[in-house]
Chains A and B, each alone.
Chain A
Amino acid sequence: MSFTVVRDPVLGEAVWLAQTARGLPLRVVPAERFREAAAVVTFRYGSVDLAFSDAAGAHTSPEGVAHYLEHKLFEDEAIQAFDRFGRRGAKVNAMTGFARTTYYFTCAERFAENLQDLLHLVSRAHITPENVAKERGIIAQELRMYEDSPDYRAFYDLLGALYAVHPVRHPVGGTVESIGRITAEELLRCYAAFYRTGNASLAVAGPVDPEQVLALAEAAQLAAGPAIPGTAPADTARPPAPRFERRGRVARARALLGCKERSLIADPAARLERDLVTRILLDLWFGAASPVREALRREGVADDSLSASYVADRGFGCAVLGGEADDPERLLAALRAVVARPVAVAEHDLERVRRKFLGGFVRGLEAVRSLAFAHAQEAGDGLPPFSVFQRMAAVSLEAVRARQRELFVPEAMAEALLLPGG
């Protein structure tokens, strides 16, 4: 298998692209200027991938299974993963999101051995009823820690208000109750369905030899073939609960306004474009340079906790606005008023955003970890390298205005309040 080399559009640095014989795509950024190297293996499998059909028939997993599986893959007693990475001075970790699970390490030496071990870890499931039971208590502790966070509770309250049936409404790690239903058989079935070369990607950056990376990837025994398609229900209808309110022992109230996508995009390139335009729109309204944000602060409606984000991937997408407030009802009303008005955007605003983005792009080239993650993200979506950069440069004023009209409609909104006094 030979490489294709693509150069970045700003500094001309190369990324090497290839695919192993078993079908694992990989991207390598050889950068001798760094001492550190980073490797990222990503699977398109996350907390929303609960429903699927395999040879044994249709199946729905308990919530939190992808996160549980991530924990278990580090438990290979044969290779003692933490010890081996640790002895080489490497830092290894993993994380599970709504739509993907990522395993990664960074190291300053013995890169090849670390990559070999990382690929080994994800290529076999080392799961027994005993080690599944042992991990349950640790995961329950993790979930309880998250549940102590008012921001976490408010966020999932909002997703629950926005989505009636889509599994994005459940916490990524599940609940203490749901993980109690996860068995070794369940984990093995999910592993077999989703941990496959056609559902994964490998991205590497640092002082590495692309040919060596490819050779190590070729040797990995990850099952070949595409993933079994998930069957998450489309959930684009009006939110089931336009308002969710909870009282709790919190020092400050939280108020969130969410707005869900009413149409889904399957094509990753089109989804990326939607994602970028939405982020620009939110930045114009609520970024540091926004007069809207400043007015909300000056009027005492919002403070520096005010945030605006766009949460989207396969099968779901929503904007989430809000933060802490003295008067949460006033904050929600103000946010509704902002998104109802046509966004004030001119060409010089876009130029400013493009400059900021270009600066961020060059900064990203300064750290192997961010380089590897950026390429892993694009590889995971099957996008050409530097798609984000090129599409950002092409965003138009009209696209921003159209995005507002499309997304921010009252019938797609819901709100969540977490109030003091529980």
Chain B
Amino acid sequence: MAERFAGFEREDVQGVPFLVRRDPRSKTFRMVLYARRPLDRDAAARALLPALLQQGTRRDPDRPALARRMEMLYGASVGPGTAKVGESHVLRMSVDAVAGAFLPGRPDQLGAGAQLLRELLCEPLLDGMGFPSGTFERERKQAADAVRALRDDKGAYAAERAIAEACAGEPYAIPEHGGLAAIEALDRGAPERARLDFLTRGEMVAFAAGALPEAGVAARLGELLAAMPARAPEPLRPPVSVAPRPVRRAVERTLLQQSKLHLHFRLPGTDVQRLWIGRRLFTNLLGGGPHSRLFREVRERRSLAYYASAGLERHKGLLQVHVGCDERAAAAVEEEVLRQARALQAGEFQEQELETARAQILGTLATVDDSPQARLAFAAESWFLGVDRTPDEWMDLYRSATRDEVVQGAAGLWLDHVYLLGAETPAGGIAP
């Protein structure tokens, strides 16, 4: 009997775990190979890599040629991307397409998509120094411009800066793009070194889900892996944790009308799954939607903010509260957030509130199976967390979770940092 993980069948392909889940209900499929490296000073080179790889291959020498090829595959999406997952930097190499069985002439969509992915990753346009100078300079400038433009998106800018301040000195403070200074300091060889580093030292795992053929899927991954250099994966470090300390604060000012208040709470590290069940319920009770304390108390009852929500970052052990409000209300918002968090920690919530939080989480989990893309993402997240459970198994755990488990999950939660992006002037905003 095949080994399984999170409802996927597992086999090893050239030493890389490959997890597959065929779904006869689907008409699309997704195949992804992930490679993980530590989030560190090389982040800028790693983050720039996807943009450079998409500038062309030996066969398709520019972006329009690559795009035309994907459009001919019925709008398939093929290519690399990067993401920050906890304190790791992940290269994601994916094929996302409609299965040939549902298209005129029944084309081999998986084979064609996997071949294109192989060319993108393993046959980039390079000269002796790395990516061609003109291409490198153009894409580096564009990446730097995009980071500068982040200041114009007040919500995204505040989120990035709040993390940088809250986690200063920890790898998690590094933004996914690596930072403006690091981008500007890149040399032409750095992205190619990052590519080889991902492919040789990266911890790899691959997934496929959806309308997949009965045979030959692993062979496609095998062809991709065979085209790569020899691998010697290096294990990742566990995330940095910090001991409780007095609340730290940071305030930045810019021209805006709606201020952004971000509170970062820390949670003690644990692998006890039932504690994480409690934590997820606690986060949902606090700020998981219109039924939550923050929405009802901060927005609806006291009209202090337009939005107020809470989210859990399990990889790093952070609970983040994001609020958009008038700066004059920021102190009252913070006070109310803390009051609500303390009340929930003390178990002061109605049974109905718990049932609503439970129903919301169950509702989300119940629909993961509807989409191969969502199911694959769920399995990948489970792999990165090292938790072998299907959505249905998680649902059973949430169904049986108790009030005490919420209280236990939230025990030890402490406020570490408060960040405010406020207005330079009372009027604020872009010039009228």
A86 near B28: Cβ-Cβ < 8 Å: no
Specify which of A89, A147, A287, A305 is in contact with B149 (CB 8 Å cutoff): A305
B76: chain A residues within 8 A (beta carbon): 359
Specify which of A324, A367, A418 is in contact with B145 (CB 8 Å cutoff): A324
**Whole-angstrom distance between the alpha carbons of A33 and B367 in the complex?**
11
Task: Name the segment of A17-25, A148-156, A404-412 touching the other chain.
Answer: A148-156
B27 near A11: Cβ-Cβ < 8 Å: yes
A89 near B67: Cβ-Cβ < 8 Å: no
**A398 within 8 A of partner (CB):** no
B255 near A36: Cβ-Cβ < 8 Å: no
B103: chain A residues within 8 A (beta carbon): 358-359, 362
**Whole-angstrom distance between the alpha carbons of A393 and B179 in the complex?**
46
Nearest chain B residue, comparing its CB with the CB of A298: B138
**Whole-angstrom distance between the alpha carbons of A363 and B109 in the complex?**
14
Within 8 A of B (CB), among A9-48: 10-11, 33-36
**Whole-angstrom distance between the alpha carbons of A107 and B154 in the complex?**
32
**Whole-angstrom distance between the alpha carbons of A148 and B431 in the complex?**
10
Task: Name the segment of A122-130, A136-144, A210-218, A309-317 touching the other chain.
Answer: A136-144
B138 near A86: Cβ-Cβ < 8 Å: no
**A288 within 8 A of partner (CB):** yes
Specify which of B71, B255, B362 is in contact with A355 (CB 8 Å cutoff): B71
State how many residues of chain A have any CB contact under 8 Å with chain B: 70
Nearest chain A residue, comparing its CB with the CB of B137: A300
**Whole-angstrom distance between the alpha carbons of A147 and B258 in the complex?**
9
Specify which of B355, B360, B431 is in contact with A248 (CB 8 Å cutoff): B431
Main secondary structure of the interface of A (DSSP, over half): mixed
In whole Å, how far is B238's beta carbon from the nearest beta carbon of chain A?
34
B356 near A83: Cβ-Cβ < 8 Å: yes
A148 near B75: Cβ-Cβ < 8 Å: no
A298: chain B residues within 8 A (beta carbon): 138
A422: chain B residues within 8 A (beta carbon): 255, 430-431
B67: chain A residues within 8 A (beta carbon): 287-289
A108 near B290: Cβ-Cβ < 8 Å: no
Nearest chain B residue, comparing its CB with the CB of A250: B152
**A117 within 8 A of partner (CB):** no
**A352 within 8 A of partner (CB):** yes
In whole Å, how far is B316's beta carbon from the nearest beta carbon of chain A?
26
**Whole-angstrom distance between the alpha carbons of A248 and B67 in the complex?**
36
B258 near A289: Cβ-Cβ < 8 Å: no
**Whole-angstrom distance between the alpha carbons of A381 and B50 in the complex?**
41
**B121 within 8 A of partner (CB):** no
Specify which of B74, B98, B366 is in contact with A89 (CB 8 Å cutoff): B366
B290 near A86: Cβ-Cβ < 8 Å: yes
Contact A366 to B306, CB < 8 A, known contacts A324-B149, A355-B72? no
In whole Å, how far is A233's beta carbon from the nearest beta carbon of chain B?
26
Nearest chain B residue, comparing its CB with the CB of A135: B303
Q: Give chain B's interface residues, CB within 8 Å of chain A.
A: 25-28, 62-64, 67-68, 70-76, 97-98, 102-103, 138, 141-142, 145-146, 148-155, 254-258, 289-291, 295, 299, 303, 305-306, 324-326, 352, 355-356, 359-364, 366-367, 369-372, 428-431
Task: Pull 12 A–B residue pairs with CB atoms less than 8 Å apart, ordered by A.
Answer: A33-B370, A82-B291, A86-B290, A108-B367, A147-B257, A148-B257, A293-B64, A358-B75, A366-B27, A366-B372, A367-B370, A422-B430
